[in-house]
Structure 1
C-alpha cells in the first residue's frame, strides 16, 4: 500500500475508533456499566483490578484497545510491512482518534454553552 493510501486509511480508520471509544466512555447508553467500572476502579482491592476497570472510563486508555481491535480486524500497518508497522499504526490511530475526540468534545461544549445562553435569553424574554 502506498503512503497516500496508508494516510487515508489512518485518518478514516480513526473515525470509528473515536466513535466507539467516545460512546463507551461518555454517552448515556453505557452509563450504568461505566458507573460500575468507575466504582470498581476506585474501590477494588488490587491495582490490577483498579486499572482494568479504569480502562472503560478513560477515552484515551480505551482507544488503545479499540485501535488494537480495528488493526486486527483490518490488518492495517503504517509505513512498514512487519510488526513495527502494526506498532506505528496503533499509536498513530490512538493519537488521531484522540484528536477527533478532543475536537468533538470542544464542539459539544460550545453547542451546550450556546443552548444555555439561548435558554437564558428566552427565560429573560418571558419574564418581560
Structure 2
C-alpha cells in the first residue's frame, strides 16, 4: 500500500478511535460507570485492578486499547508488513487520535468561554445579576 494511502487510512481510522475514547472517558452517557471505575482505580489494594479500572477514566490510556481493537478489526499496518507494521500503526493511530481529542477539547473550551462571555454581556445590558456558572 502506498504511503499516501496509509496516511489517509491513519487519519480516517483515528476519527472513530478518538470518538470512542472521548465518549467513554468524558461524556455524560458513561458518567456512572466511569465514576465507579474511578473509585475502583483509587481504592483497590492490588496494582493490576487499580490500573485496569484507571484506563476507563483516561482518554490517552483508553485510546491505546481502542486503537488496538481497530487494528485487529481492520488489519491496518504502516510502513512495514507484519508485527512491525502493526506496532507503527498502533502508536501512530493513538497519537493522531489524541491530537483530534486535544483539538476537540480546545473547541469545547472556546465554546464554553464564548457562552459565558455572552451571558455576562446580556446581564450588563439588562441590569440583571450574572447567572451562576454550573460546572459539568
TM-score normalised by structure 1 residue count? 0.98
Q: Equivalent residue for 2:35?
A: 35
Q: Equivalent residue for 2:9?
A: 9
Deviations 1:34-66 (A, max 9, x none): 000110000011111110000000000000000
Q: When you count helix as a share of all residues, which structure comes out higher?
A: 1
The alignment partner of 1:79 has SS state of coil
Deviations 1:2-42 (A, max 9, x none): 11100000011001100000000000000000000110000
Note if 1:84 corresponds to 2:87. no
- How far residue 127 of structure 1 moved from its aligned partner, in angstroms, is 1.1
| RMSD, matched Cα | 0.8
Aligned residues: 128
Correspondences of 1:1-128 after superposition (within 5 Å): 1-127=1-127
Deviations 1:46-95 (A, max 9, x none): 11111000000000000000000100110000011111000000000000
TM-score normalised by structure 2 residue count? 0.92
Gaps of 5+ in 2: 129-136
Q: Which has the higher contact order (CA 8 A, sep 6+)?
A: 1
- Give the distance between the partners of 2:71 and 2:126, measured in 1 at CA: 54
- Give the distance between the partners of 2:39 and 2:82, measured in 1 at CA: 40
- Give the distance between the partners of 2:125 and 2:66, measured in 1 at CA: 47
The alignment partner of 1:103 has SS state of helix
